[in-house]
Structure 1
Amino acid sequence: MGETRWLDDDEMRAWEGFLAAGALLNRRIEQQLKEEAGLSHAQYEILVRLERAPGGELRMTELADALLTSKSGLTYQVTQLEKAGLVRRRACPTDVRGIFAVLTEEGRRTLHSAAPGHVALVRRLLIDHLTRDQLAVLADGLGAVGRRLRDDAGE
């Protein structure tokens, strides 16, 4: 297997910073969305993806892929959104196994109501603490990691 390449001080600092920032950001975002909109972060992201999609709908498999979640996890979240009247499902007319998640008007209103507070929090906790150069480096670096992980998962 070879010798372990231990993390040096800078690498460890980056790793620990990534872990702490991710956990703390996620906790605060979950809290804010639950309190202000009655949504989980996953549910908010589902509404965002559906609003961006043509016709406000996506196949469940495409939605799971876009959100980097399991089909069962997505099914649970969509069921909760469906119970709240924010999303509905419809069968695919060309594939009996295909199901679409469709954003309802109530879902669109809920998203538009939740978005300003969510964006303000993301700005306050992350974006406004970084320079434009830092944002570019962060986006490039995490984008490269994400692409690599997606490529590795496709093998």
Structure 2
Amino acid sequence: MQKNDQSNVEDRKASLKLFVVLHRALQSIEKQVFRDIKSHGLNLTEFAVLELLFNKGDQPIQMIGKKVLLASSSITYVVDKLEEKGLLKRKACPKDRRVTYAVLTNDGKDLMKDVFPKHEQALTEILGGLSVIEKQRMIEQLKILGLHAEHYS
């Protein structure tokens, strides 16, 4: 086998191994994150919407799906459920009647003031297998990998 062929075989094996390891690591991390979110009486989509509003402020309902990677039909359902729980409300845009904002209520703000720091701490513990420097390096590497994959055709 020539040097170039050997390199190609090693690259393929490494690529397969990387995919499997990334996938398993993500599954393990997600399992723990889901457990943490559930312990606060929320599901993942509810938490994602509340976290967006808590950290970014009022958002047009039509834009929330893009920001938390959910279908628009799912967002309407989640917003309805959070509104029923008294955690957010809808507010019409004064400049454009076609736009409706999702706004945290005081109860929603209070919940996130309590839950979000606990969630941050849980994430720190869940991802505690790496040092800060290792996390920063991994962030850089995964961004490069993600951008490359996004433009793959």
Give the TM-score normalised by the residue count of structure 2: 0.80
- What residue in structure 1 maps to residue 63 of structure 2? 62
- Which of the residues 46, 50, 55 maps onto 1:47? 50
Q: Please show how residues 125-136 of structure 1 align to structure 2 within 5 Å.
A: 125-126=126-127, 128-136=128-136
- Which runs of no fewer than 5 residues in structure 2 stay unpaired? 1-7
Q: Counterparts in 2 of 1:1-155, with a 5 A limit?
A: 8-35=12-39, 37-53=40-56, 56-126=57-127, 128-147=128-147
Partner of residue 4, structure 2: none
What amino acid is the match of 1:139?
Answer: I
Deviation at 1:147, TM superposition (A): 4.9
* Change over 3 Å in CA distance of 1:91–1:148 after alignment to 2: farther
Counting matched residue pairs gives 144
> What secondary structure sits across from 1:95 in the alignment?
coil
The 3-state SS of whatever aligns with 1:11 is: helix
- C-alpha distance after superposition, 1:12-51 (max 9, x if no partner): 222112111222222222222212x111122222112112
Residues of 2 paired with 1:135 and 1:57: CA distance?
30
For residues 44-99 of structure 1, the C-alpha deviation after alignment (integer angstroms, 9 at most, x for no partner) is: 2211211222xx31111222222122211222211111111111111222222211
Q: TM-score, normalised by structure 1?
A: 0.79
3-state SS, counterpart of residue 97 of structure 1? coil
CA distance in 2, matches of 1:150, 1:102: 32
Following TM superposition, by how much is the alpha carbon of 1:103 offset from its aligned partner in structure 2, in angstroms? Answer: 0.8
Amino acid at match of 2:23: L
Change (3 A) 1:140 1:107: same
Structure 1 residue matching 2:28: 3-state secondary structure: helix
| Identity in percent | 23
Q: Distance in 2 between matches of 1:147 and 1:33?
A: 29
Counterpart position of 2:3: none
Letter matched to residue 109 of structure 1: D
Decide whether aligned partners of structure 1 residues 22 and 145 sit closer, same or farther in structure 2, where only a CA change above 3 A counts.
same
